[in-house]
Chains A and B, each alone.
Chain A
Amino acid sequence: MDLLEYQGKQFFAGYGIPVSAGEATNDVDAAVAIADRIGYPVVVKAQVHTGGRGKAGGVKLAADAEECREHASNILGLDINGHIVETIWIEKASDIAEEYYASFTLDRSARLHLGMLSAEGGVEIETVAEENPDAIAKIHVDPVVGLTEEACRDWVAAANLNPAATEGAVDILLKLYTAYVDGDADLVEINPLILKPTGEVHALDAKVSLDGSAIYEHPEYEQYEATQPRDEREQAANDKGLQYVGLEGTVGVIANGAGLAMSTVDVVNQVGGKPANFLDIGGGANADVMAGALEVINNDPAVKAIFINIFGGITRGEEVANGIVEAMQRVDIDPPIVIRLDGTNAEEGRAILEPNLSEKLMMEDTMLDAARRAVELAGAEPAGGSN
């Protein structure tokens, strides 16, 4: 779950990390009122789930109320890489002496937490990593031990920050590690972490990604669900408890199990088609789940054919087949369906499907043949048409 900058700053502030005073709004008049309250100069910042805000004109300095009004009205509604700005964050402008970079994330390879700190902040860390890898001081943290102050001091020393920033950086990094662990974050990143001319260290930006699996420990994270970037199809599927990822093609995919669903999408692609989605209905594949999945796919106007790929493990073939037949009676489906049913009691399952086969419901023995058939049907369908 990715947070917007202002949500990230509020998250940081909850762990005592110094951030700029500010407020979020979706209204121009309110923006000016906030700026009046905070005191000028202020920065007006677009809140979107994409990078490159500055270049797109989504971050502007305002010296007075008139400028604030102008920037707020320009930025609200702005299209940044296809993301329309609905919220802006107004914050007190900061004087900057130096810009640093700091983050924590999981190093999957080492199975330890990884902290990265660099005196070269303000730019993409990937760029620094490529052009000047020595400028990034890394620390591996064993979650059982945690980040000790001693280790943190050594790490800060290794990053060669301005000595004036040492104390402030150590303090912020210890808090940032606590926020990362206690907040169940996949990533916490401050870029830039700034040193002010007055000597204070301060988080000028916030990039936070939270682990969706840990929501039960943090019921307050529910509020972030509302601002997640999701297409409508994804939202509808999630509401039904289905794992769905929208893609750009014309072949709707339904499979049981994440690996098989991923593999099905791959195979559609291999035989020359374009998958419209990834949809994992899980192990059960009963009528309710199948009907829900078919509804989601059916509501996608781009879909010209549907490929249902089920491998019965514990779930037996006849249960799956009955589920499909019942679901088709409940949902009025436009595009033709191709089914591949294999695994436990596949024969019995196919026997149930057999009398229901038609021009709208076809069956193939293998995953590859079924994919070919579905791709062919998707291509044969006139654009925008349906029977």
Chain B
Amino acid sequence: MSIFVDETTKVVYQGLTGSQGRYYGLLNRDYGTQVVAGTNPKKAGTDVEGIPIYANVAEAKEATGATATCIFIPAPGVQGAVLEAAEAGIEFIVAITEGVPAHDEAYFYNKLKRDFPGTRLLGPNCPGIISPGKTNIGITAGHIAKPGGPVGIVSRSGTLTYQALYELKQKDIGVTTCVGIGGDPVPGTSFIDCLRAFEADPETKAVMMIGEIGGSEEEEAAEFIEHGMTKPVASYVAGVTAPPGKKMGHAGAIVSGGKGTAQAKMEALAAAGALVGNNPTEAGELMSEIVAGL
């Protein structure tokens, strides 16, 4: 089984008519994702390579029965797009866009929590979610992942997620679902949300977790691993050498006031019983050992 999405999930692409939305939307469809509609108020009634465009998410949902959306709208429009999808009753929203202001993220995160508790948001600034062989919603290159199981992956970084998928494939290890939660200060879905879902998923037997500097999400995840998880976890945290006060590419990847260092995160994970690699390759090897012992 996969978490959050599967091969039956019907997805609306908000921004399918834009260059990024079109490129990845069609790649996702080629992979097997049910890309059932796009939205654009100015192009309603047209289509993108046979995918119908509706004026808004509510109409697209009404016409297609979609339960998920994937957002490729430029940053200024993301807040409106997220709320539009939630108001239309969408259950799972994937926001790929980077550069969304932190105040917008804090607002729509809390708005969903308060008024749309049945809606899960993934992102913004994330690579999306892939359940290899079933569905791929976002910008991950689908062929670098081996379908099946027994590993679930959750990661804050896009390229390191790809690296992890690829290393596992090289070792002939399959993945149930790979979730990129994104590197922004207010992610819609947290490590803990994913760890909890993997813990409950019978096909996932072990979890690979890739963190990075900044915030305290990895520490909170460590606490959950210690008390709430029976499945083994292999992990890696990027940014050991990051200087304090400097953003390392991701808006969330910053060590401030001595908080959020990679060292502290790795120690917390190790103390919680997770295996911790010093680099992505080592984490892949640790996971391979875990899988061999299952």
Contact = CB atoms under 8 A, between A and B. Distances in A.
Contacts of B185: 106, 108
Given A217-B76, A260-B163, A314-B139, A267 B279 contact: yes
Interface of A: 106, 108-109, 111-113, 126, 142-144, 181, 184, 186, 211, 213-214, 216-217, 243, 245, 247, 255-263, 265-267, 269-270, 275, 278, 280, 283, 311-314, 342-344, 366-368
B197 interface: no
A245 B243 CA distance: 9
B257 A126 contact: yes
A196 B228 CA distance: 53
Q: Which 10 A-B pairs have the closest CB atoms?
A: A259-B157, A257-B159, A258-B249, A259-B160, A260-B159, A214-B101, A313-B141, A262-B238, A143-B107, A280-B249
Contacts of B243: 245, 247
Nearest to A126: B257
A258 B183 contact: yes
Contacts of B156: 259
A213 B212 contact: no
A262 B279 contact: no
Interface residues of B, number: 61
Contact of B114 (A144, A214, A216, A262): A144
Contacts of B75: 213, 216
A261 B186 CA distance: 22
Interface of B: 24, 27, 75-76, 99-103, 106-107, 109-111, 114, 139-141, 143-144, 155-163, 166, 183, 185-186, 210, 212-213, 215-217, 220, 236, 238-243, 246-253, 257, 262, 278-281
A113 B106 contact: yes
Nearest to A247: B243
B281 A262 contact: no
Contacts of B217: 108-109
Contact of B280 (A108, A126, A263): A263
A213 B99 contact: yes
A192 B205 CA distance: 54
A312 B144 CA distance: 10
B240 A269 contact: yes
Given A184-B103, A216-B75, A258-B250, A311 B238 contact: no
B166 A342 contact: yes
Contacts of B162: 257, 311, 313, 343
Contacts of B186: 106, 108, 111
Most chain B beta-carbon neighbours within 10 Å: one of A181, A263, A267: A263
Given A262-B249, A311-B162, A313-B139, 9 more contacts: A108-B185, A109-B216, A109-B220, A184-B103, A186-B102, A243-B249, A259-B249, A262-B248, A275-B241
